[in-house]
A = this chain, B = another copy of it.
Amino acid sequence: MNSRETALWFGERDNFLIITHRRPDGDTLGCAAGLAQGLLEAGKAAFILFNPEATARYMPYVQKHWAPVEFIPSYIIAVDIATPDLFPENGKPYESAVSLAIDHHPSNSGYASLSCLDMTKSSCGEIIYEILMALSGRIGTETASSLYVAVSTDTGCFAFSNTNSNTLRVAAELVDAGAPIGEINKDLFRKKAKSRILLEAMITAGMEFYFDGAVAISIITRAMMNKTGAGENEMDDVASIPTSIEEVIVGITIRELTGPSDCKVSVRTTPLVNANDLASKFGGGGHAMAAGFSLNVSAEEMKRKLLDTLGEIFPLKIGC
């Protein structure tokens, strides 16, 4: 369905439960909050399924929309979720019961009964904006703020290469609808906790370069997190640090999670290398220049596996 058809679909229905993805980012949470608020303003009942991994940064947008225990949804909506295995633990019961998926990931598996997919959009937030405008003709300040969070975070405040004129135009319309972007940008992009700044310095200092500097790999250990005091709130977009260095074509962050050999890998690339292809070799996925996966191995073993695989892409001698 396109945005207009999706708006009609919403218009004829009621009682929606919105699901966000695991390790939720600003796009999935901003979309959920914007959609819930927009549907509310259109006279509908709409809630977000509690996401246990939502960070404090996004809490002001989502927490007022958490579904109360007594809410019985008629329709399940997934926002910004490519595959059902990205549902949070408490969303598992809904995996095969999704009425509608709204998404912009090329890797969307078509798991929902109905889908509103638009891969040309930089963020899922732009699709939600179109749907709500087609539904109601206007959006309120709160909806605009949440959608601005979605649009701006998924494009790195309009600096990532996925940004296009639609992104910027929607952002302009969200500002005109009242989104306080001065405050939001400050919170999301311009202000950093001291712990984050210390962590960034450690990540930069520990970075290793391979394949004549084309590949940069950073391991973020639990010890680094403990030493700097950085928590989940301070981890947003650390994955983009390696590729921020000139000459780096593939930037990889390997992050130690809670288990002793549980690794989350984030891959960022320039157009020369497809990040989704690389991640999919390890069972992950994402976009052409930003993808990821998790594996139950140690960080050092993960690095070795990645270097082996990268050796097939870069037929150059391993430098350091």
Which of A2-10, A61-69, A178-186 lines the interface with chain B? A178-186
Kindly supply a per-residue 1/0 record for chain A positions 176-210, scoring 1 wherever the CB is within 8 Å of any chain B CB and 0 otherwise.
Answer: 10000110011001111110010001001100000
Closest 3 CB pairs of A and B: A168-B172, A161-B182, A165-B175
Whether, in the assembled complex, A245 has its beta carbon less than 8 Å from a beta carbon of chain B, the answer is yes
Question: Is the CB of A169 closer than 8 A to any CB of chain B?
Answer: yes
Assess the B159–A185 pair: CB atoms within 8 A: yes
Alpha-carbon separation in the docked complex, A208 to B193 (Å): 15
Quick check: A157 and B160 within 8 Å, CB to CB?
no
Taking CB atoms and an 8 Å cut-off, the chain A residues in 210-261 that contact chain B are 240, 243-246
The reply on A120 being an interface residue by CB < 8 A is no
Contact A197 B204 (CB under 8 A): yes
Asked whether any CB of chain B lies closer than 8 Å to the CB of A173, the reply is yes
A171 to B166, CA, bound (A): 10
B197 and A244 within 8 A (CB)? yes
A interface vs B, CB < 8 Å?
156-161, 163-169, 171-173, 175-176, 181-182, 185-186, 189-194, 197, 201, 204-205, 240, 243-246, 270
- Report B-chain residues with C-beta under 8 Å of the C-beta of A175: 164-165, 168
The reply to whether A160 and B190 form a contact with Cβ atoms under 8 Å apart is: yes
Instruction: Provide the residues of chain B in CB contact with A182, threshold 8 Å.
Output: 161, 163
Q: Is the CB of A190 within 8 A of B157?
A: no
Q: A191-B246, A244-B191 are in contact. Are A185 and B197 (CB under 8 A)?
A: no
Query: Could you tell me the distance between the alpha carbons of A158 and B169 in the complex, rounded to whole angstroms?
Result: 13
- Do B161 and A186 touch across chains, with their CB atoms under 8 A apart? yes
Out of B159, B185, B191, B245, which one reaches A194, CB within 8 Å? B245
Looking at the complex, which one of B164, B167, B181 makes contact with A163 (CB distance below 8 Å)?
Answer: B181
A158 touches B161 (CB 8 A): no
In the complex, A139→B157 CA distance in Å? 25
CB neighbours of A197 from chain B (8 A): 204, 244-245
For residue A159, which residues in chain B have a CB less than 8 angstroms away from its CB?
Answer: 157, 185, 189-190
Output the least CB separation between A119 and chain B (Å).
17
Distance of A243 Cα from B246 Cα, bound (Å): 25
Provide 10 A-B residue pairs closer than 8 Å at the C-beta atoms, listed in order of the A residue. Answer: A158-B158, A158-B168, A168-B169, A168-B171, A168-B175, A191-B244, A191-B245, A191-B246, A193-B246, A197-B204
Q: A166 to B190, alpha carbons, bound, how many Å?
A: 21
